[in-house]
Amino acid sequence: MLQTVKYNCVEIARNIETCRTQISQMIGLMFRSSIPSEYAMIFVMKKPSSVGIHMLFMRFPIDVIFLNEDKQIIGLSHLKPWTGHSSMKNAKYVIETNPDVIEKYKLSIGCKMEFEDV
């Protein structure tokens, strides 16, 4: 079965990449020239913790969604290449996705995201 990310029962991404290791989380989307539409990179932390996202070596903007362990949105950020930075406490999951997702799907803090934790 194809993994998807949903918000309010609406699919917002179907091209999913999961990062669980420290190295894959450190590299993230760095050095890529672009990401496809309907894409999401999900960072899965071992436990809820303080997470910082930087945009060094990034060539395109992204939207970042911070989630707690219940997959409830606790933070949202729009980050620009090379200059952006965002951090959040108590994040269990971080989703990096296309730069129009927050507005397009009207994401808001307190609402839940749906995806399988594979």
pLDDT at residue 1, rounded to an integer = 45
Q: Tell me the pairing of strands 62-67 and 113-114.
A: unpaired
| CA-based torsion, 25, 10, 36, 103: positive or negative | negative
Q: Which CATH number fits domain 5-114: 2.60.120.1140, 2.60.40.10, 3.30.930.10, 3.40.50.12780?
A: 2.60.120.1140
Cα 38 to chain centroid, rounded: 12
pLDDT at residue 84, rounded to an integer = 87
Q: Which portions of the chain are predicted below pLDDT 70?
A: 1-2, 118
Other C-beta atoms closer than 10 Å to the C-beta of 92 total: 21
**pTM higher than the cut 0.85:** yes
Q: Domain map of the chain by residue range?
A: 5-114
pLDDT at residue 116, rounded to an integer = 87
Strand partners for 23: none
Strand partners for 44: 93
Strand partners for 10: 7
- Return d(Cα 65, Cα 7) in angstroms, integer: 12
